[in-house]
């Protein structure tokens, strides 16, 4: 008999069962310290010793979290020690906005963690900070990202020394809260269509910022509604000319525009600020709309790294065309996208951890006359959660790789690397955030009614994370950039060019694709073969190559009658599938590499198991394709 059980409980089995459930639920809400053995857990069927893989958790954690583990722990400890800085359930929008600002100020001024210092010099540390901060409150993570990555990042990456000297300290210590004002009411994804203008006035040596119509109002701008004092405003640079056109449009450039008085916080003359109001999530971030009426700023406020204007109105740039300058500017802004992909994996980890832990403890039904079983023992529950768990590991390593490439790019400024990171960040941001968004709903559902309690976080995580699919580049638009890049590489290959490192695998797998699948290998079905990383990766890459070849042929055919734009649209779903398949190939390759490089044998064995699950689950999900082309024979598919 349970020592806590009373005689009364014994005579009322339903009370016993209820109290057992309550105990287990409370375990989930207040997890035991790791050192304390849990008698309840030992009872559960799926935790039977025979099925357990012994893993050295410290080694695994050290391997996965690397050198930035300390700063992440420091952040979590700081917020845990400060109940006044924790976000209460049901907080109002206005309180949440102020709380987020207080949290950010406390992080920088009290905990002395200064994220801005790492934005350029140590991006891996910066992203580790944002991951930990996002786990405290997603709004806080985004507020931090707006301040340091978007507003601060635009000053550092698009400006020059004079801007760094003037603004660095204020951004770093939060004296200068700022915004990143790109999106307009009528133009979000299509950034080149922006209509705000910055017209140079050589007489006063100033730019005049104007919102020419309602559609050009800057919309959704984070930090604008309440706290921002500056904004990096993206606008078409207009120069006066002496020809009949009178002016020349030099394309979209970035300008620093003060929007509020530094001391009184009053809105400055010529600027109108509106509040975007209550949102589906992220209500700790004050998004606002900005309209400019002939706002004059000094010429120096042009962020002039890629293009400059002299006092007499002459334009200079090391880049020859508007398109090249635009691409260079956007290339420098991928940091935000890298950060979102990285943070999204963090939310996936949190939600899968909650759902798996709960599923181990929660018991429903069981064989007659026997204790109820853990819900994780149900095949359906495993099917929902285990591939998701595997994906969170896979995405962890893939986004670490992305951060590593991004850090290299920041140091080397190599043109090919910039293009590579652009495509890689687009693919991973889109793929990971879409996956996490779906998973958050699945995890909530996997936890039944208790998953719906606000305190268990699925609701806020789901609502806060949802927009990750849209900002920093809409996912559907980003995936098209990946597909376009693949097609460019494909074309280059047939013109004898070299493939960039990330896509290099295509050379071999395209050759495999062009020949028939090997009928003998197609029948192999042993566990060793199915768990062979070469088989898994070949299968992923074969699929990508097949999609690439077939969509290229379709585009060629349709462009004759529909033109390039029409043909692209006719093949759009095919293109999106190609981009998805390619991104999955990259993710698997990085996962396999990470398993291989893991120094601790027990961790390596555990990671290998999870990696196999990731790979085989994907192959299984698309088994129809593999069967259709006899890449996998019927016996193997079974």
Ligand X SMILES: Cc1cc2nc3c(=O)[nH]c(=O)nc-3n(C[C@H](O)[C@H](O)[C@H](O)COP(=O)(O)OP(=O)(O)OC[C@H]3O[C@@H](n4cnc5c(N)ncnc54)[C@H](O)[C@@H]3O)c2cc1C
Residues with catalytic function: 472
CB count, 10 Å around CB of 45?
15
Q: Say whether residue 189 binds ligand X (CB under 6 A).
A: yes
Binding flag, residue 114, ligand X (CB under 6 A) = no
Q: How many residues bind ligand X (CB under 6 A)?
A: 19
Given a contact cutoff of 8 angstroms between Cβ atoms, the answer to whether 149 and 339 are in contact is: yes
Binding segment for ligand X among 1-9, 57-65, 183-191, 263-271 (CB under 6 A)? 183-191
The residue from 104, 271, 467, 575 that contacts ligand X (CB under 6 A) is 467
Choose the binding region for ligand X from 179-187, 192-200, 304-312, 416-424 (rule: CB under 6 A).
179-187
221 binds ligand X (CB under 6 A): yes
Give dist(CA 528, CA 534) in Å, integer.
Answer: 11
Q: Which of 79, 126, 220, 393 binds ligand X (CB under 6 A)?
A: 220
Measured from the CB atom, is 141 or 188 closer to ligand X? 188
Sequence-ordered list of residues with C-beta below 8 angstroms from that of 181, at least 6 positions apart, any chain: 218, 221, 224, 231, 232, 233, 234, 257, 290
Phi and psi (nearest 5°) for 318?
-80, -10
Residue 353 CB coordination number (10 Å): 13
Sole window of 49-57, 220-228, 375-383, 533-541 interacting with ligand X (rule: CB under 6 A): 220-228
Which of 282, 340, 446, 595 is the binder for ligand X (CB under 6 A)? 282
Find the shortest distance in angstroms from Cβ 93 to ligand X. 13
Q: Would you count residue 148 as binding ligand X (CB under 6 A)?
A: no
Main-chain phi, psi angles of 210, to 5 degrees: -135, 145
Q: Evaluate whether 353 touches 24 at the Cβ level (below 8 Å).
A: no
Among 205, 275, 474, 622, binds ligand X (CB under 6 A): 474
**Contacting ligand X (CB under 6 A), which of 38, 59, 199, 476?**
476
Parallel, antiparallel, or unpaired: how do β-strands 315-316 and 197-201 relate? Answer: unpaired
Closest contact distance (angstroms) between CB of 400 and ligand X is: 25
| Residue of 40, 470, 549, 602 interacting with ligand X (CB under 6 A) | 470
- Member of 188, 251, 387, 451 binding ligand X (CB under 6 A): 188
φ, ψ of residue 247 to 5 degrees: the values are -135, 160
Does the protein bind ligand X through residue 288 (CB under 6 A)? no
Rounded to the nearest whole angstrom, what is the least distance from the CB of residue 494 to ligand X in the complex?
26
Nearest residue (CB) to ligand X, 196 versus 509: 196
Write the DSSP string, 53-121. PP--HHHHHHHHHGGGHHHHHHHHHHHHT-GGGSPPTT--HHHHHHHHHHHHHIIIIIS---GGGHHHH
- Quick one: 152 or 222, whose CB is closer to ligand X? 222
In 3D space, the residue among 270, 105, 119 whose CA is nearest the CA of residue 176 turns out to be 105
Residue 222 binds to ligand X (criterion: CB under 6 A): yes
222 annotated as a binding-site residue: yes
How far, in Å, CA of 597 to CA of 63, rounded? 10
Which candidate, 117, 183, 52, 145, places its Cα nearest to that of 474? Answer: 183
With a CB cutoff of 8 Å and minimum separation 6, the contacts of 190 are none
Q: Residue with CB nearest ligand X?
A: 188
Q: Is 427 in the site for ligand X (CB under 6 A)?
A: no
First to last CA, the chain: 46
Q: How far apart are CA 635 and CA 638, in angstroms?
A: 5
Nearest in space to 629 (alpha carbons), one of 506, 548, 539, 557:
539
Q: Which stretch binds ligand X (CB under 6 A): 81-89, 365-373, 474-482, 500-508?
A: 474-482
Instruction: Determine, following the binding rule CB under 6 A, whether residue 279 of this chain makes contact with ligand X.
Output: yes
Options 113-121, 152-160, 199-207, 279-287: segment touching ligand X (CB under 6 A): 279-287
Residue 416 in the binding site for ligand X (CB under 6 A): no
* Shortest CB 167 distance to ligand X, Å: 18
For position 344 contacting ligand X by CB under 6 A, the verdict is: no
CB nearer to ligand X: pick between 474 and 532: 474
Question: Annotated binding residues for FAD, as ranges?
Answer: 183, 222
Q: Which residues are at the interface with ligand X (CB under 6 A)?
A: 146, 180-183, 188-189, 220-222, 279, 282, 287, 467, 470-471, 474, 476-477
């Amino acid at each position: 008999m349970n020592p806590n059980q009373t005689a009364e409980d014994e005579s009322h089995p339903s009370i016993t069962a209820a109290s057992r459930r309550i105990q287990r639920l409370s375990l989930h809400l207040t997890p035991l310290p790791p050192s304390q053995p849990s008698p309840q857990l030992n009872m559960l069927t799926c935790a039977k010793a025979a099925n357990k893989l012994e893993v050295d958790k410290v080694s695994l954690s050290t391997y996965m979290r690397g050198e930035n583990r300390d700063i992440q722990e420091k952040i979590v400890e700081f917020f845990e020690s400060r109940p006044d800085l924790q976000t209460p359930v049901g907080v109002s929008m206005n309180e949440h906005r102020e709380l987020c600002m207080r949290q950010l100020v406390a992080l920088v001024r009290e905990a002395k963690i200064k994220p801005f210092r790492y934005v350029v010099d140590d991006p891996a540390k910066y992203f580790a900070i944002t991951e930990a901060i996002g786990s405290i409150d997603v709004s806080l993570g985004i507020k931090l990202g707006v301040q340091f990555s978007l507003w601060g990042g635009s000053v550092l990456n698009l400006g020059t020394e004079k801007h760094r000297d003037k603004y660095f300290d204020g951004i770093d210590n939060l004296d200068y809260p700022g915004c990143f004002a790109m999106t307009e009411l009528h133009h979000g994804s299509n950034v080149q269509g922006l209509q705000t203008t910055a017209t140079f006035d050589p007489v006063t040596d100033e730019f005049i910022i104007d919102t020419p119509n309602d559609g050009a109002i800057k919309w959704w701008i984070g930090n604008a509604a309440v706290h921002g004092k500056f904004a990096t405003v993206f606008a078409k640079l207009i120069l006066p000319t002496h020809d009949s056109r009178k002016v020349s449009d030099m394309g979209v450039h970035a300008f620093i525009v003060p929007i509020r008085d530094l001391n009184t916080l009053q809105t400055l003359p010529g600027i109108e600020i509106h509040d975007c109001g209550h949102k589906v999530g992220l209500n700790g971030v004050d998004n606002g709309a900005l309209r400019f009426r002939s706002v004059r700023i000094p010429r120096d406020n042009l962020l002039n790294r890629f293009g400059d204007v002299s006092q007499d109105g002459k334009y200079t740039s090391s880049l020859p065309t508007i398109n090249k300058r635009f691409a260079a500017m956007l290339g420098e802004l991928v940091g935000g996208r890298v950060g979102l992909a990285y943070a999204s994996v963090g939310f996936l980890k949190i939600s899968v951890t909650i759902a798996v832990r709960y599923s181990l403890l929660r018991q429903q039904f069981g064989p007659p006359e026997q204790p109820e079983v853990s819900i994780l023992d149900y095949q359906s529950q495993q099917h929902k959660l285990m591939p998701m768990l595997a994906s969170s590991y896979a995405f962890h390593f893939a986004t670490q790789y992305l951060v590593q490439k991004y850090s290299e790019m920041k140091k080397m400024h190599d043109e090919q690397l910039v293009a590579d990171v652009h495509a890689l960040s687009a693919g991973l941001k889109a793929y990971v955030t879409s996956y996490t968004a779906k998973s958050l709903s699945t995890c909530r559902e996997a936890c039944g009614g208790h998953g719906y309690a606000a305190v268990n976080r699925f609701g806020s995580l789901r609502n806060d994370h949802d927009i990750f699919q849209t900002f920093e580049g809409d996912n559907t638009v980003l995936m098209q950039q990946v597909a376009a890049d693949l097609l460019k590489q494909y074309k280059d290959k047939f013109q004898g060019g070299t493939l960039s490192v990330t896509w290099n695998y295509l050379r071999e797998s395209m050759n495999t694709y062009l020949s028939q699948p090997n009928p003998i290998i197609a029948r192999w079905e042993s566990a060793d073969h199915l768990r062979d990383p070469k088989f898994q990766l070949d299968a992923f890459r074969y699929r990508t190559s097949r999609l690439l070849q077939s969509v290229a042929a379709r585009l060629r055919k349709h462009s004759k009658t529909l033109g390039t734009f029409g043909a692209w649209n006719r093949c759009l779903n095919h293109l999106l599938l190609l981009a998805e398949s390619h991104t999955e190939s990259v993710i698997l390759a990085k996962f396999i590499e990470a398993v291989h490089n893991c120094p601790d044998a027990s961790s390596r064995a555990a990671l290998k198991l999870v990696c196999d699950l990731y790979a085989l689950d994907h192959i299984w999900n698309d088994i129809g394709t593999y069967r259709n082309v006899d890449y996998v024979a019927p016996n193997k598919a079974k």
